[in-house]
A and B are shown apart, each in its own frame.
Chain A
């Protein structure tokens, strides 16, 4: 066992692999952060459509959610790897492919979180807001969404942890995230045990810290 392989390649692994600063367009965080933000926007729209009473909104949203929740992420990544170049007529960087795949895949999960958040707002709130004369849109924007959002925060954080771990799968199409960076170093140094243990610890630190934070938020929200 020789951990000098970690110290020698530390900058490459963390700056290039984890943060995305370096020669390649890569980075775990550079994929995960935009993916959760854009995924949440799309997920909110899908979640609202899923709750709508209009059938032409309700059914497509339901099919979207059930479809993406029933297919492995690996499969979805391969789909986009193939479809996007066909639609665009030219090959695009892995970053675009991976980001699109993650946004569309995560939106299905985030939509369910949004739905649960909206349904957690007590019915009396809706009735009271309607009684004061707010329109359907105003009701959603000023009364339901702000409260729903607060209730959703722990679940959103948990989903972000899942997403952060899932971004490791972007390495299968050649995106240089932390996992791919470790593979690149391993191809040169052949130190798999040390390298994979090291990235496991990096993932673990982020994920565990965030899950503890989510738990404390959850208990604070529950006691309010």
Chain B
């Protein structure tokens, strides 16, 4: 193998700027996607453990439908499939405001919401039933019991599996390159195309992803220590794994 490395391509010319833009776009998708995914995941996860069957069915239909189809297909569906069905005015507005970015955020948020809900459901189910009974017997309604007692405890129990899912969400943001979102993987490909330096460009992208993943993992391990419920951690792990 004869390949002469030239790492300077990463900081000469436009490449450095592209990489930084890529990181910012990836983080932008990550934050917005995570917010959507957490909101959908908490609601769907809680609904799936409710004592009312129709609520469980609605949540299960959402989770099973979105979780079992590849993210890439959802990207294409939201980006190519849905906009042509919308009224012309909304289409024009979307195409003026970066439709690929929003399609990507939607696809990631909705897909990972379904996956997060499984983690949250497992967390809720690992809480002893007596907690809910005790909450209801103090006069709380079911909604109050879930909002004030069950969900907050579950969220503190599920930190380890939620860390996995958060890292997955970050990694999956790279799929958005297929619909033309200029995130980190897209930018490393662009550097490769412009400089014909594939090793250097891909190595830079890979190292940045590893750093981002490690950062998330260490933030989450801080969160885990900070919000641990004494005596319940082991239970949460076995229930959620």
Contact = CB atoms under 8 A, between A and B. Distances in A.
Nearest to B207: A71
Contacts of B85: 193
A207 to B, nearest CB: 4
Interface string A147-174: 0000000000000010001101101100
Given A70-B209, A86-B1, A203 B84 contact: no
Contacts of B64: 208
Interface in B145-177: 167, 171-175, 177
B72 A171 contact: yes
Interface residues of A, number: 36
A165 B66 CA distance: 12
Contact of B81 (A70, A71, A183, A197): A197
B65 interface: yes
Interface in A95-122: none
Interface stretch (A3-11, A49-57, A75-83, A129-137): A75-83
Q: How large is the interface on B (under 10, 10 to 19, 20 to 34, 35 or more residues)?
A: 35 or more
Contact of A70 (B65, B68, B202, B213): B213
B205 interface: yes
A199 interface: yes
Interface core residue of A78, A165, A193 (most chain B CB under 10 Å):
A78
Contact of B202 (A75, A165, A203): A75
A78 B189 contact: yes
Contact of B70 (A82, A172, A192, A203): A203
Interface string B79-90: 011101100000
B77 interface: yes
Given A74-B175, A78-B202, A197-B81, A169 B185 contact: no
B36 to A, nearest CB: 19
Interface of B: 1, 3, 64-65, 68-74, 76-77, 80-82, 84-85, 167, 171-175, 177-178, 185, 188-189, 192, 198-199, 202, 205-206, 209-210, 213-214
9 contacts: A72-B172, A75-B206, A87-B1, A169-B70, A192-B84, A193-B84, A199-B73, A200-B69, A208-B64
Given A165-B69, A168-B72, A196-B77, 12 more contacts: A75-B205, A168-B70, A186-B80, A192-B77, A193-B80, A193-B81, A196-B80, A197-B81, A200-B69, A203-B68, A203-B70, A203-B73
